[in-house]
Chain A
């Protein structure tokens, strides 16, 4: 079964540092998403990306966040200056183009710890 792959699985960073979280969506998917989940809480939407541009973003996705599809396979989330409250599990997801809800699949996540 196709998978969404995320690296690294765990990242520890100092407050104020920049981090880049990487995702490889399923190969024939054209919609890409980032979500986050603070420990013990619900999954929250950050941003969706289609046709090389942001489709939607939540109020969490402020100026310190950015997304990029640098090549044909990777999809990245950059946090410019990390804060303690950015500590969370970050999930990438992707879905098909013909029906954006079809095959909506989450990656295994990156646990980000800001110290």
Chain B
């Protein structure tokens, strides 16, 4: 099955700085890579995703990059704001044809005002 590694586990940045979170995956057949934001006690919410036929995708201050050769993908948040503080999870399908997502262990992002 898929193995997803996520780094760092915690990240503190000053407001206005950029934050980068990285994930690696093991199954080269994986073709969908979402990022979820989870605030304390709440549901994981999809913030951006990327498919394997695309190398980069942007949505305002958030971007995701994918390197299929190296089997890693990254979340980039620019101009961070205090409300970006949360736990961020990457995920990948557990193999071709799988319906399940395998999640990384999460990154707790703290944006310091």
Chain A positions near chain B (C-beta within 8 angstroms): 31, 33, 35, 41-45, 48, 50, 55-56, 58, 91, 100-101, 104-109
Residue from B45, B94, B98, B100 in contact with A106 in the complex, judged by beta carbons closer than 8 Å: B45
Q: How many Å from the CB of A88 to the closest CB on chain B? A: 13
Secondary structure of the A contact surface, majority rule? strand
Is B42 within 8 A of A45, CB to CB?
A: no
For the complex, what is the distance from the CA of A31 to the CA of B43, rounded to whole Å?
18
Q: How many Å from the CB of A48 to the closest CB on chain B? A: 4
Q: How many Å from the CB of A40 to the closest CB on chain B? A: 9
Q: How many Å from the CB of B27 to the closest CB on chain A? A: 14
Is A104 within 8 A of B43, CB to CB?
A: no
Is A101 within 8 A of B32, CB to CB?
A: yes
A-B pairs under 8 A by CB, number: 50
Residue from B42, B45, B46, B99 in contact with A31 in the complex, judged by beta carbons closer than 8 Å: B99
Is B43 within 8 A of A109, CB to CB?
A: yes
Is A45 within 8 A of B44, CB to CB?
A: no
**B89 proximity list for chain A (CB < 8 A):** 42-43
Task: Using A42-B89, A43-B89, A45-B94 as known contacts, say yes or no to A91 and B43 having CB atoms under 8 A apart.
Answer: yes
Across the two chains, which residue of chain A brings its CB closest to B44? A106
**B94 proximity list for chain A (CB < 8 A):** 45, 56
**A105 proximity list for chain B (CB < 8 A):** 46
Q: Which of B43, B46, B102, B103 has the most CB of A within 10 A?
A: B43
Across the two chains, which residue of chain B brings its CB closest to A41? B105
Task: Using A42-B105, A104-B34 as known contacts, say yes or no to A33 and B44 having CB atoms under 8 A apart.
Answer: no
For the complex, what is the distance from the CA of A82 to the CA of B93, rounded to whole Å?
29
Q: List 16 A-B contacts (CB under 8 A).
A: A42-B104, A42-B105, A43-B36, A43-B103, A45-B100, A48-B99, A50-B99, A56-B94, A56-B99, A91-B44, A101-B32, A101-B93, A104-B46, A107-B43, A108-B43, A109-B43
Is A42 within 8 A of B103, CB to CB?
A: yes
Q: How many Å from the CB of B49 to the closest CB on chain A? A: 7
